[in-house]
Structure 1
Amino acid sequence: MPEDMSIESYLAQGGVLTNPSNVPPRYRAELMKLMATFVDSELAGAAGFADIINQGPGIKERIAAAKIVLEKTDNADRVLSIMGEFGANTARYANHHPWSARLDRDADIGASRSEHDMRLAVFNYPLQGWADAVVMNLLMGRAVAVQLAEFSMVSYQPLAEAFRAIAPVEARHAELAEEGLIKLLEAEDKASVQTSVDYWWPRVAASFGSSDADRLKALKTLGLRRTDSQELRARWSAETTAIVEKLGLTAG
């Protein structure tokens, strides 16, 4: 960074930061929020899916589910270690929140967060059996792919690198879910699977949040966002609709 340039100007022009020592307070706050949302969502998602492992119809399905739980927890740890460099109590983190806590199935909280942690709202809803879990993992897996493509370009270089390493792991989770759904549709009643699609679609869509032009502008200035939430949601919807309809189901 040139000596005569402020950090804010440097970031606004596409500069990157590499350690906590020169991070402005506002930047730190937004970066921590982004990281906490990812870590908490991964831990809550892993906790919810862990309860479903033994409902897998076969050994291979249970192995795949256990691998997803392991890798999501590992992804959370990778980003949590960066939070630790900013002072987060990483040793206490794993047991500090009720990661497996869920609301009633018919709750409707939109995009609001839990009072306990920063997980995305979608991870407050319970899974109902194996087929429901597979559908949710497919829809949310596709959403994570879109979101990670955005967050892999953040201006805090260590986090961008972590997200780039995580992206193919999460992409594989969505692929496993699609493979699992194809197999399920050979044996399951399509109507029951469609019910799960109808349930999870709006809840996953809400995970992109609302469009806020002023906030987007501020985050763009910090190099922490590039794309409007509505555009990201539309990208997810188009890509996921193609997958769902290919399987003979109707998108939400």
Structure 2
Amino acid sequence: MTDTMTLDSYLAAGGVLTNPSNVPPRYRAELMKLMATFVDSELAGAAGFADIINLGPGIKERIAAAKIVLEKTDHAHRVLNIMGEFGADTDRYANHHPWTARLGRDADIGATRSEHDMRLAVFNYPFSGWTDAVIMNLLMSRAVAEQLAEYSTISYQPLAEAFRSIAPNEAHHGDLALEGATKLIENGEDQHMQDSVNYWWPRVAVSFGGDDPKRFEFLKSLGLRRNKNSSLRDRWSQTMAETLKSLRMKTPEQNV
């Protein structure tokens, strides 16, 4: 950053920050919120999948679920380490929140966050079984891919690099879900799968959040956003509609 350029101008022009000591308070607050949401969602997601490992119909499926649990926990650890550089108590963090806590299956909280942590609302709902978990993973892994593509270009370079390293693993979780869904269809689980699509689709869709033009422009000026939430959600919706079609399933709107 040149001596004549303000920090705001530097970030708006695509500049990057590399050290907590260079980060102003408002930037730090937004960065910590972003990291906490990711870490809490990964830990809550890992806790949810841990509970269904032994429901897998075979060894291969159980290995896949265990791999997801391991990698999501590792992803949380990577980003939590960066939070630690900003003063977060990383030793206490993992045991501070009830990651396994879930609401009732019929709860409808929209995008409301838990009172315990910053996990996305979708991670407050329980799985009803193996098939349900596969479908949730199928839908959510693609949503995570869209979000990571967005966050892999943010202006805090260490975090952007962490997200870029995490993205391939999360994409593989989607591959595992697609493989699992294909096998479930072969085993005649079509209707159960469609029921799960109808349940999880709106809950995953709302995880993108709504559009707040003023807030978006603020985050964009800090180099923390490039695309609106609705744009990410629309890309996810289009991609998942095509994936579901290949599996002989429909989106809830198409299934009416």
Provide TM-score, normalisation by structure 2: 0.98
Counterpart in 1 of 2:145? 145
1:118 deviates by: 0.3
1:120-159 pair list within 5 angstroms: 120-159=120-159
Counterpart in 2 of 1:243? 243
Counterpart in 2 of 1:206? 206
Counterpart in 2 of 1:41? 41
What is the one-letter code of the residue matched to 1:46? A
Counterparts of 1:86 and 1:169 in 2: how far apart (Å)?
A: 26
Counterparts of 2:114 and 2:144 in 1: how far apart (Å)?
A: 19
Counterparts of 1:20 and 1:188 in 2: how far apart (Å)?
A: 53
1:64 deviates by: 0.8
Counterparts of 2:100 and 2:188 in 1: how far apart (Å)?
A: 27
The answer as to 2:227 corresponding to 1:218 is: no
Q: Secondary structure at the match of 1:145?
A: helix
* Overall identity of the aligned pairs, in %: 71
1:47-83 deviation line (CA, Å, top 9, x unaligned) = 0010000000000100111011000000000000000
Counterpart in 2 of 1:191? 191
Aligned residues between the structures: 252
Where do 5+ consecutive residues of structure 1 fail to align? none
Counterparts of 1:162 and 1:151 in 2: how far apart (Å)?
A: 10
Measured on the aligned residues, the alpha-carbon RMSD in Å equals 0.6
1:7 deviates by: 1.1
1:98-109 pair list within 5 angstroms: 98-109=98-109
The answer as to 2:129 corresponding to 1:165 is: no
Q: Secondary structure at the match of 1:232?
A: helix
Counterparts of 1:173 and 1:189 in 2: how far apart (Å)?
A: 20
Counterparts of 2:245 and 2:207 in 1: how far apart (Å)?
A: 22
Counterparts of 2:188 and 2:164 in 1: how far apart (Å)?
A: 36
What is the one-letter code of the residue matched to 2:14? G
Q: Secondary structure at the match of 2:117?
A: coil
Counterparts of 2:195 and 2:35 in 1: how far apart (Å)?
A: 33
Bigger shift: residues 3-12 or 200-209: 3-12
What is the one-letter code of the residue matched to 2:8? E
Where do 5+ consecutive residues of structure 2 fail to align? none
1:77-132 deviation line (CA, Å, top 9, x unaligned) = 00000000000000000000000100000000001100000000000000110000
Counterpart in 2 of 1:94? 94
Counterparts of 1:189 and 1:65 in 2: how far apart (Å)?
A: 19
1:2 deviates by: 0.2
Counterpart in 2 of 1:84? 84
Counterparts of 1:210 and 1:85 in 2: how far apart (Å)?
A: 30
Counterparts of 1:65 and 1:246 in 2: how far apart (Å)?
A: 23
1:189 deviates by: 3.0
What is the one-letter code of the residue matched to 1:40? D
Bigger shift: residues 180-189 or 192-201: 180-189
Counterparts of 1:61 and 1:174 in 2: how far apart (Å)?
A: 13
What stretches of structure 1 move > 2 A for 4+ residues in a row?
A: none
Provide TM-score, normalisation by structure 1: 0.99
1:170-201 deviation line (CA, Å, top 9, x unaligned) = 00000000000000111133111100000000
